[in-house]
Structure 1
Amino acid sequence: MESPQSLFAQGDKDLQVMKAGAMLRKVKSRSWKKQRHFRLQEDGQTIWYKSRWAGTGHSTFSVADVDVVREGHQSEILLSIADEFPADLCFTLVFRGRRSNLDLVAESPSEAQVWIRGVRKLIQNTESMNDKERLDQWIWDWFQKADKNKDGRMNFKEVRTLLKMMNVDMNEEYALRLFTMADKSESGCLENEEFVQFYKMLTEREDVWRVFQDYSRDGQILTLAELEDFLKQEQQEGERSLEHAQELIDRYEPSENAKKHGAMSIDGFQMYLVSPESAVLDPQLLALHQDMSQPLSHYFICSSHNTYLMDDQLRGQSSQEAYIQALKRGCRCVEVDCWDGPNGEPVVYHGHTFTSKILFRDVITTLAEYAFKVSEFPVILSLENHCSMEQQRVMAQLLDTILGDTLLTAPLDRLVPQELPSPQDLKGKVLLKAKKIGGLEESETLTDEVTDEVSDEDEADPKSLSAEALHLNDKKSKLSRELSDLVVYCKSVHFHSFEYSRLHSKCYEMSSFSESKARKLAKDTGAEFVRHNSRQLSRVYPSGMRTDSSNYNPQELWNVGCQIVALNFQTAGLEMDLNDGLFSQNGCCGYVLKPDFMRNDDSFDPERPQDRNGYTSLRLSIQVISGQQLPKVNQKEGSIVDPLVRVEIYGVFQDQAKQETSYIDNNGFNPLWNETLNFIVHVPELALVRFVVEDYDKASRNDFMGQFTVPFTCIQPGYRHIHLLSKDGTAIPLSSLFVNIKISELTTEV
């Protein structure tokens, strides 16, 4: 049995050279540069490397985990050794999730090109695999792991080990029965196709078979009419269901004979149910589909805090890579903390801490290159300015020269706005958020202004400052006119009160709030906060006390319409899951249109949602049926998970809820729950639904296994698969939950 990647690798010269191996220099810093032997393994999927002196120790990584290959000095580390190694020897492997880059130096330009081309081909081949090839690769990977003596055959003892590795503690008698059925040659070992047959028997989906039987009259096939009936009754599809049924047969039915008769077999039915088309998140809502012509204040905007940090805010590394990662995740508001640096060059870091420093120039260069690769809609550059007048002028000059036409430096059409322009109007533009001398109404600005509010974040949350910083803040700081003139639609102002803003504030003025201030306003005056945010932008940022760069729950700030709810993107967990969930819709463009009742003058109070016009609550019923190939959390041999599923609702206060299934003993491979969880949702337009799988532990805290978060309004009802994500937000191959979702209006009986 050969893997698809292995077959692909056989016919390619670059990949054959990679299989032979090469000495490449692994670089971690200017002083840490060590030779390692790298080679592509026979599976065409794994790259193995070790040092000459490491004995039996080695490392491996899967090509599937590599996001992109960058050529030349395209990382800070390789730039730092540019004087020692020319660009044509250098390349960087960038991994998915939060894993660090791998910076490498080849011994010759031709060798560097072999590895650059080779890894790129493998990435492209992995991404273009169809579902069957992906499954074949997955089966082959397991076969390789379990075939301990590498004879290309698997005896029953090896199969028992494999089952444990695959997270299933199967009854020995049943496992032996399957093994014997698959061992057609009666050799006592499974070879190639026999192992594939064993795997198919092992993964037969009784849960899917039962659903199939409910709609198939003869128990063998679904006719076109029966499939249409299933789509109408279970998947809640309307008028297009007959046409759609025919499309599904054409797309997923593997049997030509069944296709000819306009029917679907159990294999085709299962392929449809595990396809992206049948996922819990409606694929039509994944695409860019919202109205992008409304004022900026009418959108939630994907926003990052301390964007320059790869780790915590006391000792973490500041890096351009952190900006690249945030922008690639759809972030549209990035933060830059600027301080005076040596040689007249401003630097970016977390002031008064031990975080490393990077040049402001390099941050803006990175922004110029990556700002619009994932989304064409505007990026807001939130400037925390702690610089002297001289270095502020340098900042203004760098912004102007590096960003060029992408930097918005004047109002559109030279008109003073009555409302903010739209994301559509501002496509491809960078907006500077900072203090400004005067307003857009003045025809010209004549002088520098003395202000004690150059950095609005520090000003807003004095608790977060050190004594040294507070002393500095007491001194009046001057704001340079050159920098001020670059601020157009995001002028930072001190927040006085909602009444003051209503009477005096301009639409292009915005305030920053610490999480504690924003939460208090949301709790005490939620309806006023919603109204304020329909016209002006608000930015919320984590408390300075969060020295570990932890996050607050963004949901309660979205509930009052705050657009820029800034999170530490470098910190995985529930809060980033919610952020990723909200912004997974609308083409992952970083802008999500707020519900209409938060954009108009209607009075919406998140504490009293039932008071709004057109209020209807919904019943959400989720039958958690089964799990497939759940990941192991404890890599110890023989350890198997006891999974449970928890469904969590995040939204207005009345909608916050959690329910969980019981746990299944010793089965992460194909656990069966068949338990139904029920919820009532009062404001579905703001609700997020998070599915979490954990390994139950009665003695200590449960271990996280995987999750998926989806906006309530994007849920497809019916029988759906939920494809799980890791803590880092990356896909866990073939790991899913099978559920049946019903959504109905709540009828109140008189």
Structure 2
Amino acid sequence: MDSQAPFLVLGGEQDDEDIKVMLNGSFLWKIKSRRRKKERFYRLQEDGLTILSERCFKRAPPEGQIVVFSIMHIEAMREGYQSEGLRKHGRYFPETQCLTIVFKGRRKNLDLAAQSEEEAKRWARGLKKLMAKVEAMICPPLFFPYISGIWIHDILHRADKNKDNKMSFKEIKDMLKMINIDMNDIYAYQLFQECDKSSNDRLEEHEIEEFCTLLMKRPELEELFHRYSGQDCVLSAKELGAFLQDQGEVADLAHAHRIIQTYELSEKAKQHDRMMLDGFMMYLLSAAGDILNQEHTNVYQDMSQPLCHYFISTSHNTYLTDNQIGGASSTEAYIRAFMEGCRCVELDCWEGSNGEPIIYHGHTLTSKILFRDVIEIIRDYAFKHSSYPVILSLENHCGLEQQVTMVRHMKAILGDMLLTQTLDGQVPKELPSPEVTPPGNSRGRGRGPWQHSHGLLQGGFSERGPRAPSSMVSSHGHPWALSDPIAVCAPRQAKDAAQLCPQLSDLVVYCQAVPFQSLAQALGSQQAGQMCSFSESKARKLLKESGNGLVRYNAQHLSRIYPLGLKMNSSNYNPQEMWNAGCQLVALNFQTPGWEMDLNHGRFLVNGRCGYVLKPSFLRSRQASFDPESGRGGVGPMWARGVITAQQLPKLNDKKSSIVDPFVRVEIHGVRADCTSKQTEYKLNNGFNPRWDETLSFQLRVPELALVRFVVEDYDATSCNDFVGQFTLPFISLREGYRHIHLLSRDGASLAPATLFVHIKAKKM
């Protein structure tokens, strides 16, 4: 409300010279193409977490011409020509005046050019400082009240139409609709009158603050707090220990004391080793109260087993940002995949002009990028998020000359990151582990990619025809070799593309592509360094005919599953089916959001998001008896239930009259016997604080493979329900007790402060 509202990012940054420049605002050029360069006015808001962008008008900007984005949604800040957009279109501005804001999720980069080098540096430094502050505040619970405070402050500012720093009841009603709640007029007016201490039908600053405090109350958390605190409404360390014991956590007094000292806001309460309601709420909203087991957010699994014992995060058509018919190809897509923990990326390589191979989806209208540029991006970004092996899946459509160019670029750009010989100089008897260090390389030196390529077959062959050798690139600084068995016809413009040059073939170190004949033949004679790939339909057929045979194959060898090539919209298949059989490289279109990618994010959310997840023991044994169709041979069973409320769900559009009617669906994805979903009733016109108090129960036969997906949708009686938010995680990483779930958008970005609050009980039967 108040234009002089306190700067909510802690630490006095408002006195920083860089932050002052951002608070005053700057005219920056927004660069989208060679012809589309438009001047915008960008200004950091007083909350210290949101940036406003306005078009430059001589008069006041029309409705809808103001754009706001949050520091919380920024993934990275790059200076200079460090984006594909600026490398292509930013040359009209000096590199020192250019910067790129990279957003989380699938929102496009924001490429900017400042009026001067000094101004660009001010914004770059300021953004980095604010991002660092946000990052530092996300771990401590102190961050969460500020999310709500900043969020409500912005809503109040927008609802105060005449900017008099006072709110009429009509303005309060408008505000309520902005925050996704259609509150009963009588109840809303009672709340309004309760806060109108001056009795002038206007809420002033402190009265508005009180109104918001009442509005933000969490009755379900108050009830839980009073259940343990007793009549004095204060939690002692002993009472907190009782709560922790019911949560299934360490419940000794020392641990309770540490929690109080970490999360309690009142210094006086801390001194007496007591926790007040606000501190209790802070604790439950923090990472300590998250549904995801925080021990699993680090690399906690055994990483010394053979590669075939891990699920490996794998991207299909990685270069695409949209559909495979007319979508754009971009090096940015590789960066985003790597930052999501992807460890296997695909490069479709075709003949380009001037002797330079290009990457795009052949024989379509997708745009083209240089092979060389992609290899440079791999060098620069493959190991920024995860230090474990990267696999480059090269689908070669090039003639001999440009194949040699591909090899030259990989060796020159990747250098000793590229593995060109076996780790011990011997013929491999089994695949190495993700953390084996190549000769001459040390763990602390960083890792490199593993590469996976395939050559075109003479004249073109069907999926079942012979395969050419191919390569796959490894890690710890070096690539190994894999194969892509997709058989394709030689391009007409490249008569010699049917051959694979020795230099490219020599990059195959560990995995040679071999034609798949039968599981019996593969299990009997396939060598450790050989592998097969399967289309999604072929994999499903094998699952149906011999699921256990496929499990035993995957216990010894790598297999890659890829989507059918006829999908115009680049849709995905269900990856869970393939994981159930132990398939490692389950390739998905990362650029296509949907429940399939939600499952992929959930599968690789754990183990430090390093892109490698150890398969359950019953999928790693060569004598495995597990049947992925029935689930027989698993460890289970388990039983689970949950009670659900929600807080501050996002609106689906900007219309004031648009209020969601939310319901929650809990889905179990696992073996066929475990796949099910149950949902709550919908709550009419309340996306702010709906409360269901419903119990949803599930029985799981194979919990080690199961993923749990919490989905919020907007009920619609006449058409399809609209997606609101979701969160997916492995069942074995789900924590019992009272937990918050921080919802994600369709493209995986945070929907803070939107949460679900659940009570989870799970036990073996």
TM-score (norm 1): 0.92
Q: Distance in 1 between matches of 2:694 and 2:752?
A: 25
What's 2:596 paired with? 575
Check conservation: 1:307, 1:336, Cα contact below 8 A. Answer: yes
Q: In 2 relative to 1, CA 101–174 (structure 1 residues): closer, same or farther, beyond 3 Å?
A: same
After the TM superposition, which of the residue ranges 595-604 and 8-17 deviates more from structure 2? 8-17
Task: Note if contact 1:227-1:245 (Cα within 8 Å) is conserved in structure 2.
Answer: yes
The C-alpha deviation readout for 1:323-360, integer Å capped at 9, x for no partner, is 00100110000000001111111100101111111110
Q: Over residues 1-21 of structure 1, what are the superposed CA-to-partner deviations in whole Å (9 max), with x where a residue is unaligned?
A: 524358856423333333444
1:736 and 2:741 correspond: no
The match for 2:70 among 59, 63, 74 is 63
Match of 1:289 in 2: 300
Q: Please, which runs of 5 or more residues in structure 1 have no aligned partner?
A: 438-449
From 105, 120, 124, the counterpart of 1:116: 124
Match of 2:510 among 477, 489, 498: 489
Task: Name the CA shift for 1:143/1:567 in 2 (closer, same or farther; >3 Å).
Answer: same
1:634 aligns with 2:656: no
String of CA shifts for 1:110-143, please: whole Å, max 9, x gaps: 2222222232233333333432333332232222
Where does the alignment leave 5 or more consecutive residues of structure 2 unmatched? 438-445, 457-464, 472-481
Question: Offset at 1:711?
Answer: 0.3
Shift of 1:59: 3.6
- Given candidates 25, 28, 32, the residue that maps to 1:28 is 32
Cα deviations by residue, 1:131-184 (Å, 9 ceiling, x for unpaired): 233333223222212222112222222111111111112222222222233233
Moved more, 43-52 or 313-322: 43-52
How has the CA–CA distance of structure 1 residues 682 and 473 changed in structure 2, closer, same or farther, with 3 Å as cutoff?
Answer: farther
Deviation at 1:469, TM superposition (A): 6.2
Match of 1:17 in 2: 21
> What is the aligned partner in structure 1 of residue 115 from structure 2?
107
Aligned counterparts, 1:124-135, within 5 A: 124-129=132-137, 130-131=142-143, 132-135=145-148
1:672-687 matches, within 5 Å, as 672-687=691-706
* Distance change >3 Å, CA 335–CA 53, structure 1 → 2: farther
Which of 635, 640, 650 does residue 620 from structure 1 map onto? 640
Q: Is the 8 A contact 1:436 1:492 kept in 2?
A: no
| TM-aligned CA distance change 1:66 to 1:435, over 3 Å | closer
Q: What are the Cα deviations for residues 546-602 of structure 1, in whole angstroms up to 9, with x where unaligned?
A: 121111110000000010101111111101110101111011100000001111233
Q: 1:471 to 1:510 in 2, by over 3 A?
A: farther
Alpha-carbon separation, structure 1, partners of 2:447 and 2:616: 25
Pairing 1:640-655 to 2, within 5 Å after superposition: 640-655=659-674
What CA RMSD, in Å, does the superposition of the two structures yield over aligned residues?
A: 2.5
Instruction: In structure 2, give the amino acid aligned to 1:17.
Output: V
Decide which of 586, 598, 610 is 1:589's aligned counterpart: 610
Q: 2:377 aligns with which of 357, 366, 369?
A: 366
Q: 2:400·2:496 contact (CA, 8 Å) conserved in 1?
A: no
> What is the Cα deviation at residue 493 of structure 1?
2.3
User: Is this contact kept in 2: 1:435–1:487, CA < 8 A?
Assistant: no
Structure 1 equivalent of residue 727 of structure 2: 708
| Equivalent residue for 1:552, pick from 561, 573, 598 | 573
Distance 1:230 1:24, change over 3 A: closer
| Closer, same or farther: CA 530–568 of 1 in aligned 2, 3 Å | same
Counterparts of 2:36 and 2:573, CA distance in 1: 37
Counterparts of 2:328 and 2:117, CA distance in 1: 31
Please say which of residues 117-126 and 640-649 is displaced more in the overlay: 117-126
Shift of 1:475: 8.5
- 1:419 alignment partner, one of 409, 427, 430: 430
What do the CA deviations read for 1:20-57 (whole angstroms, capped 9, x no partner)? 44333222123333333434445442221314479734
The correspondence for 1:47, drawn from 52, 64, 70, is 52
User: Is residue 250 of structure 2 the alignment partner of residue 229 of structure 1?
Assistant: no
Q: 1:339 to 1:53 in 2, by over 3 A?
A: farther
Q: Name the stretch that deviates more: 61-70 or 596-605.
A: 61-70
* 1:606 matches 2:606: no
* Shift in alpha-carbon separation, 1:546–1:55, aligned structure 2, 3 A: farther
Indicate the residue corresponding to 1:76 in structure 2.
84
Matched, 1:213 2:226: yes
Preserved CA contact (<8 Å) 1:452 1:475? no
Whether the aligned pair in 2 keeps the contact of 1:352 and 1:469 (CA below 8 Å) is no
Q: Following superposition of structure 1 onto structure 2, how do residues 241-252 of structure 1 map, counting pairs within 5 Å? A: 241-252=252-263
Counterpart check, 1:354 vs 2:365: yes
Deviates more, 1:376-385 or 1:602-611: 602-611
Q: Deviations over 1:199-255 (max 9, x none)?
A: 12112222112222322332512222222222212x1235x4433222222222223
Of stretches 135-144 and 157-166 in structure 1, the one that deviates more from structure 2 is 135-144
Find the aligned partners of 2:648 and 2:497 in 1 and give their Cα distance: 61
Q: Confirm whether residue 87 of structure 1 aligns to residue 87 of structure 2.
A: no
Which AA in structure 1 matches 2:581? V
Is the contact between residue 455 and residue 499 of structure 2 (CA under 8 Å) also seen in structure 1? Answer: no
* Residue 195 of structure 2: aligned partner: 182
**In 1, Cα distance between equivalents of 2:653 and 2:598:** 22
- Which residue of structure 1 aligns with residue 479 of structure 2? none
Which residues of 2 match residues 682-697 of structure 1 at below 5 A? Answer: 682-697=701-716
SS in 2 for 1:434: strand
Partner AA of 1:621 in structure 2: R
Cα distance change, pair 278–42 in 1 and its aligned pair in 2 (3 A): closer
Give the 5 Å matches for 1:279-678: 279-425=290-436, 428-435=447-454, 453=468, 477-600=498-621, 601-612=623-634, 615-624=635-644, 626-678=645-697
2:313/2:611 contact within 8 Å kept: yes
Cα contact 1:436–1:487 (8 A) shared by 2: no
| SS of residue in 1 equivalent to 2:499 | strand
Call closer, same or farther: CA 1:470–1:108 in 2, change over 3 Å. closer
Question: Shift of the alpha carbon at 1:105?
Answer: 2.0
Which string of whole-angstrom CA distances, capped at 9 and with x for unpartnered residues, describes residues 269-290 of structure 1?
2221111111111111111111
Do the aligned residues in 1 keep the contact of 2:29 with 2:40 (CA within 8 Å)?
yes
The answer to whether the 8 Å contact 2:618/2:633 transfers is: no
The one-letter code sitting in structure 2 at the alignment partner of 1:506 is Q
What is the alpha-carbon distance in structure 2 between the residues aligned to residue 677 and residue 355 of structure 1?
45
Q: Offset at 1:452?
A: 6.1
Count of residue pairs the alignment pairs up: 725
Which stretch shows the higher mean deviation, 677-686 or 256-265?
Answer: 256-265
Asked if structure 2 preserves the Cα contact closer than 8 Å seen for 1:63 and 1:119, the reply is: no
1:652 maps to a residue whose letter is V
Cα deviation, 1:402-457, whole Å, max 9, x if unaligned, reads 001111111112122211111111561211112499xxxxxxxxxxxx98647899
TM-superposed CA distance for 1:744, in Å, is 1.5
Aligned equivalents of 1:159, 1:365: Cα separation in 2:
54
Q: 2: distance between equivalents of 1:473 and 1:108?
A: 48
**Cα distance in 2 between the residues matched to 1:436 and 1:6:** 55
CA contact (8 A) 2:484 2:533 kept: no
**For residues 314 and 404 of structure 1, what CA distance do their matches in structure 2 show?**
34
- Asked whether the 8 Å contact 1:434–1:492 carries over to 2, the reply is no
Equivalents in 1 of 2:66, 2:734: separation in Å?
A: 40
| CA deviation after TM superposition for structure 1 residue 261, in Å | 3.1
451-460 vs 729-738, which deviates more? Answer: 451-460
In the superposition, relative to structure 1, how do residues 82 and 236 fare at CA in structure 2: closer, same or farther (>3 Å)?
Answer: closer
Q: Which moved more, 1:154-163 or 1:50-59?
A: 50-59
Q: Which of 286, 295, 298 in structure 2 is aligned with 1:275?
A: 286
Say if 2:485 and 2:513, in contact at 8 Å, map to a contact too: no
Q: Partners in 1 of 2:382 and 2:688 — Cα distance? A: 41
